[in-house]
């Protein structure tokens, strides 16, 4: 294992075990109940009960066969037995066998349908719940880990639904019916047949206790592998440009080996009990036959009854063996379910207040008073920030890297709730407004233009439900995107690849500006929207942005100060605090922090130069 891989794994282990006891409580029963709710709860309950009834009646037919067979053998072994008397048991046995096959087929069909529907409901619930979670959740979760929850974990839950549930129900019902019949026929042979059962149960319990943590670790390692593979694929350009193919292969191999080793241990621990239980089954049958033979010789029991009991011993032991064999599937399903429910149990950190009202736009007047914010309690990112923005004003935001610029935008859009202070939009407390109504009125254009794998037209329509093609085309014209779109192979019907990779950075950005125009928001936020394009494309984008922001209250984050010098006011942040807030001309005349930033870009004088000798650039 490479040093880098070992260090990362060591860090992950420390993060996962921080603040936790080494031994976690066994919550398998709770996980089982929650998984079964999707298969047997609410609207699925009548169907599940119906399948259960079919299963019980089918197994009644199966349980009758050894008894009827034993009675037939008694007829054969009797000196006075006749073929007519033998038929009284053979024909019902055949009917019972047919009855078992038919009802088992119907029960399996219903259980299969229930399993498919349960998985579908679980996946939809998981994905829908993820849409309700706050930005903070996605900030702390690697994409690969989340994809593992949606794919690897739901896949093992699928196997649990499809294989374990139906079969375990069948085995448990069969054990119950078999025990009842055995007790009714002969108590002595029943006790003999049950001698090996405690040993089998002990082995199953021991293996379960050992294998459960192994399967939990297996799912964790699969998540780590998926996370590394997703990150590597996303960073393929970096790997290619730095010739790190061998490193990527070696790292992937290390992760895969860890998954293999963990999986081998988990499945070995769960499967080792199968040969043990099979051996115990043979021991049980031998005990019944030996004891029964002695009782037949002594005249205490009929031969047919002993033969029937041998059949019942098999009907009793085989389900126990099958359950032992299904334990690996069940434990793996519990581990996957545990990770899925961990997300489903996540609560959004930003919630609408009980008395929240819809935002009523009244021009876009924004007031922030003594606002503090921290991502991690006790570590302030924004401190005592107070400012006011008049309706329709364009505000430029600048400052050194890590000064809190994007964080300020995050709280204005209420992606995060502030620690203290107040934010008023048109006189309405931000914390008392519904998030949906607020975000309908806020348009965001980010530095990284994100486009979906869909047509250009559908990417534009994504901004507003019910948007027409004519509105989208007009927005594209306003954003200077129409001409290049028409030159694409199929115009607005051209299919974009993932993230719009078949377009240039500037083209992607112009489409996102057009998309924002389709949404027609009342307030605009731009986060380095022109930082990755050439000068000509920047002019086209800036022209589109001016049209987009016209008459709207807007905030523009920029490192290139030329892009915000025409803003009505410029907000300068340093170390999480607003240190200056005025127009470009006023700030330049003041020769303070903004002046130092500006001169470092345009005059070649950085923070250590004469113009900024007393300025400290601080990150949060």
- Judge whether 47 and 110 are in contact, CB under 8 Å: yes
Average pLDDT of the residues of the chain: 81
- Nearest 5°: CA angle at 209, between 207 and 214? 90
Residue 369 burial (10 A CB sphere; 0-12, 13-18, 19+): middle
According to the model, what pLDDT value does residue 179 have? 87
Question: Is 104 a residue whose pLDDT tops 70?
Answer: yes
Q: pLDDT by residue (tens digit) across 449-461?
A: 788 888 999 989 9
Q: pLDDT by residue (tens digit) across 378-401?
A: 888 999 999 999 999 999 999 888
User: Closest Cα partner for 618 from 587, 601, 591, 593?
Assistant: 593
According to the model, what pLDDT value does residue 25 have? 47
- Judge whether 53 and 360 are in contact, CB under 8 Å: no
Question: Is 531 a residue whose pLDDT tops 70?
Answer: no
Helix/strand/coil for 109: helix
CATH topology of domain 24-344: ABC transporter transmembrane region fold (1.20.1560)
Q: Which residue has the tokens 């027409």?
A: 468
The CATH superfamily holding the domain 359-441+524-533+553-620 is P-loop containing nucleotide triphosphate hydrolases (3.40.50.300)
According to the model, what pLDDT value does residue 397 have? 93
Q: pLDDT by residue (tens digit) across 327-346?
A: 777 888 888 888 899 989 99
CA 502/CA 480 separation, integer angstroms = 18
Q: Which residue has the tokens 């880098």?
A: 4
Which carries the bigger pLDDT value, residue 437 or residue 446?
437
CA 351/CA 433 separation, integer angstroms = 10
Enumerate residues 6+ apart whose C-beta is below 8 A from 243.
none
CA 148/CA 160 separation, integer angstroms = 17
According to the model, what pLDDT value does residue 45 have? 93
Which carries the bigger pLDDT value, residue 374 or residue 251?
374
Percent of the chain with pLDDT over 70: 83
String of DSSP letters for 80-93? T--HHHHHHHHHHH
Residue 176 has, within 13 A of its CA and on its CB side, a CA count of 11
Which carries the bigger pLDDT value, residue 66 or residue 80?
66
Question: Is 15 a residue whose pLDDT tops 60?
Answer: no
According to the model, what pLDDT value does residue 233 have? 66
pLDDT category at 75 given cuts 50, 70, 90 is confident
According to the model, what pLDDT value does residue 287 have? 78
Per-residue pLDDT, averaged over 148-154, amounts to: 79
Which carries the bigger pLDDT value, residue 175 or residue 448?
175
Which carries the bigger pLDDT value, residue 459 or residue 217?
459
According to the model, what pLDDT value does residue 615 have? 64
CA 503/CA 486 separation, integer angstroms = 13
CA 556/CA 526 separation, integer angstroms = 5
Residue extents of the structural domains in the chain: 24-344, 359-441+524-533+553-620
Question: Is 175 a residue whose pLDDT tops 60?
Answer: yes
pLDDT category at 616 given cuts 50, 70, 90 is low
- CB atoms inside a 10 Å sphere around CB 131: 6
Select the highest-mean-pLDDT range: 421-425, 504-508, 565-569, 592-596.
421-425
User: Closest Cα partner for 264 from 213, 203, 218, 315?
Assistant: 218
CA 6/CA 246 separation, integer angstroms = 17
Helix/strand/coil for 275: helix
Backbone φ and ψ for 575, nearest 5 degrees, come out as: 60, 30
Beta-bridge partners for 527: 557
- Going across the sheet that includes 428-429, the strands are 382-389, 366-373, 420-425, 428-429
Which carries the bigger pLDDT value, residue 585 or residue 70?
585
According to the model, what pLDDT value does residue 358 have? 94
Cα distance from N-terminal residue to C-terminal residue, the chain: 36
Question: Is 602 a residue whose pLDDT tops 90?
Answer: no
According to the model, what pLDDT value does residue 428 have? 95
Helix/strand/coil for 397: strand
Question: Is 56 a residue whose pLDDT tops 90?
Answer: yes
Question: Is 268 a residue whose pLDDT tops 80?
Answer: no
């Amino acid at each position: 294992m490479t040093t880098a891989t070992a260090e990362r794994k060591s860090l992950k282990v420390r993060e996962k075990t921080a603040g936790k006891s080494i031994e976690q409580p066994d919550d398998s029963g709770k996980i089982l109940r929650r998984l079964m709710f999707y298969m047997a709860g609410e609207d699925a309950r009548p169907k599940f009960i119906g399948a259960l009834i079919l299963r019980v009646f089918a197994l009644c037919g199966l349980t009758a066969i050894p008894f009827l067979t034993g009675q037939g053998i008694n007829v054969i072994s009797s000196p006075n037995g006749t073929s007519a008397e033998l038929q009284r048991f053979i024909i019902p046995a055949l009917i019972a066998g047919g009855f078992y096959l038919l009802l088992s087929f119907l029960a399996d069909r219903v259980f299969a349908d229930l399993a498919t529907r349960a998985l579908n409901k679980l996946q939809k619930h998981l994905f829908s719940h993820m849409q309700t979670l706050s930005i903070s959740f996605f900030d702390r979760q690697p994409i690969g880990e989340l994809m593992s929850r949606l794919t690897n974990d739901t896949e093992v839950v699928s196997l649990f639904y499809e294989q374990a549930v139906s079969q375990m129900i069948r085995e448990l019902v069969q054990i119950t019916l078999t025990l009842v019949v055995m007790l009714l026929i002969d108590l002595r042979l029943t006790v003999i047949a049950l001698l090996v059962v405690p040993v089998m149960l002990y082995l199953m319990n021991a293996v379960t206790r050992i294998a459960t943590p192994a399967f939990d670790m297996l799912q964790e390692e699969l998540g780590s592998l998926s996370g590394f593979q997703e990150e590597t694929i996303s960073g393929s350009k970096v790997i290619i440009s730095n010739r790190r193919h061998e490193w990527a292969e070696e790292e992937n191999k290390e992760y895969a080996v860890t998954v293999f080793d963990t999986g081998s241990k988990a499945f070995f621990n769960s499967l080792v009990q199968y040969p043990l239980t099979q051996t115990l089954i043979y021991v049980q049958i031998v005990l019944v036959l030996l004891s029964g033979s002695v009782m037949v010789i002594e005249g205490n029991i009929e031969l047919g009854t002993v033969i029937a009991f041998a059949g019942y011993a098999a009907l009793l032991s085989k389900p126990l063996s099958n359950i032992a064999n299904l334990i690996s599937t069940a434990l793996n399903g519990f581990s996957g379910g545990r990770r899925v429910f961990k997300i489903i149990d996540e609560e959004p950190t930003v919630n609408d207040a009980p008395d929240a009202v819809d935002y009523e736009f009244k021009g876009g007047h924004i007031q922030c008073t003594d606002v503090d914010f921290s991502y991690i309690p006790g570590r302030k990112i924004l401190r005592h920030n107070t400012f006011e923005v008049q309706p329709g004003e364009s505000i430029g935001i600048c400052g050194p890297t890590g000064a809190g610029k994007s964080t300020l935008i995050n709280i204005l859009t209420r992606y995060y709730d502030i620690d203290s202070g107040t934010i008023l939009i048109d006189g309405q407390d931000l914390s008392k407004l519904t998030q949906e109504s607020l975000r309908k009125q806020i348009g965001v254009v980010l530095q990284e233009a994100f486009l979906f794998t869909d047509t250009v037209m559908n990417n534009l329509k994504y901004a507003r439900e019910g948007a027409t093609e004519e509105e989208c085309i007009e927005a594209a014209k306003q954003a200077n995107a129409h001409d290049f779109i028409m030159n694409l192979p199929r115009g607005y019907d051209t299919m974009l690849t993932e993230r719009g990779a078949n377009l240039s950075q500037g083209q992607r950005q112009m489409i996102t500006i057009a998309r924002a125009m389709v949404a027609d928001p009342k307030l605009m936020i731009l986060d380095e929207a022109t930082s990755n394009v050439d000068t000509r494309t920047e002019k086209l984008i800036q022209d589109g942005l001016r049209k987009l922001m016209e008459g709207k209250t807007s905030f523009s984050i920029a490192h290139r100060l030329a892009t915000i010098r025409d803003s009505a006011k410029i907000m300068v942040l340093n170390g999480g605090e607003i240190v200056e807030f005025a127009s470009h001309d006023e700030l330049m005349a003041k020769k303070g922090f903004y002046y130092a930033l500006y001169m470092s870009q345009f005059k070649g004088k950085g923070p250590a130069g004469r113009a900024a000798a007393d300025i400290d650039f601080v990150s949060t």
